Amino acid sequence: MVRLVLTAILLVLVTACGSIGLLPTRELVQKAIALGLEQTQQKLSQQLDLDFQGFEIKRLSITQEEPLTIENLPAFHVRGTYDLILKLPKRRLRQPKKPFDVYLQIQQEGKTWRLLLPEKSSKDTQSIWRSYLISCPINYL
């Protein structure tokens, strides 16, 4: 019960990417998607010897935000769509309405957010999560 009350208080005091609130902001979600895309882009560039020159995320639309607890910290399962523009040396590839499905977690001190990626594991074991810091300027009001 005490943990639940402390978690609720923590969530009320949270500052995420410049706005106070209980839910992840569009800016935070966009940064989380970009972080995941950067990792994928690096792997593809190495494996396929491609010259990616970046990407743009446009028209982000959040359709679902589900609060949950992961490893005793508050988290959100966020879903929606976005338009992706991949920049290549001689052209741009546009992929409209790409779905996204991300897990975001506010850290215990309430100052930073992390992108959580579930590790693939067998069905009978508990999920293992990889965690990546989402860089986000913190504004105190």
Q: How far is CA 44 from the centre of its chain?
A: 20
Per-residue pLDDT tens over the stretch 39-89: 888 777 777 777 778 899 999 999 999 999 998 899 999 999 999 998 888
| pLDDT average, residue stretch 24-29 | 94
pLDDT, position 22: 57
Q: Which two tokens stand for residue 107?
A: 């850290």
Q: What is the mean pLDDT of residues 91-116?
A: 91
Rounded distance between C-alpha atoms, residue 108 and residue 10, angstroms: 8
Predicted TM-score (pTM) above 0.85: no
**Residue 56: its pLDDT value, please?**
94
Least confident of 40-44, 85-89, 100-104, 135-139: 135-139
What confidence score (pLDDT) does residue 136 get? Answer: 61
CB burial of residue 94 (10 Å; 0-12, 13-18, 19+): exposed
Q: Which residue has the tokens 């338009």?
A: 83
Q: How confident is the model at residue 122 (pLDDT cuts 50, 70, 90)?
A: low
